[in-house]
Amino acid sequence: EDKVVQSPLSLVVHEGDTVTLNCSYEVTNFRSLLWYKQEKKAPTFLFMLTSSGIEKKSGRLSSILDKKELSSILNITATQTGDSAIYLCAVEANDKIIFGKGTRLHILP
C-alpha cells in the first residue's frame, strides 16, 4: 500500500528559529514529490522534486529529495509568523497523488 508519512505532526517554534519538516514515502513507480503550504483552503505549491540530491530553494525555504532514503526535508530558516500554516507533502506514483497528513507549524512572535 502506497503511503506518505510526515513528521512531526505539529511544531511550535519562536520567530527567527529554523525548522526542518520531514516526509517519508513508500510507493511503487515514484514520479515526483511535492510540497505545499496550506493557509487557506487551496494549498499553495512550493516545490516539485524529482531528482535525488538537488536542493530547490525559494527565499528562506529549501527542500531536497533523497531517493535512497525515500524521504524529503523542507527547511525554513529565520521563520516568521507568516510561515504559520500546514505543510503538506505529496507523492505522485502509479498515476495518483498520495498526500501526507501534514505538519502544522505555528510560529510564535
Of 21-29, 49-57, 58-66, 98-106, the window that binds another protein (rule: CB under 8 A) is 98-106
88, 89, 105, 107: residue in contact with another protein (rule CB under 8 A): 88
Instruction: Please tell me whether residue 38 binds another protein under the rule CB under 8 A.
Output: yes
Instruction: Please tell me whether residue 91 binds another protein under the rule CB under 8 A.
Output: no
Instruction: Please tell me whether residue 42 binds another protein under the rule CB under 8 A.
Output: yes
Integer CA distances (angstroms), 83 to 69, 100, 108, in order: 27, 19, 10
23, 25, 33, 43: residue in contact with another protein (rule CB under 8 A): 43
Instruction: Please tell me whether residue 86 binds another protein under the rule CB under 8 A.
Output: yes
Name the E strands within the chain. Answer: 3-7, 10-14, 19-26, 30-38, 44-49, 56-58, 61-66, 71-76, 85-93, 96-99, 103-108
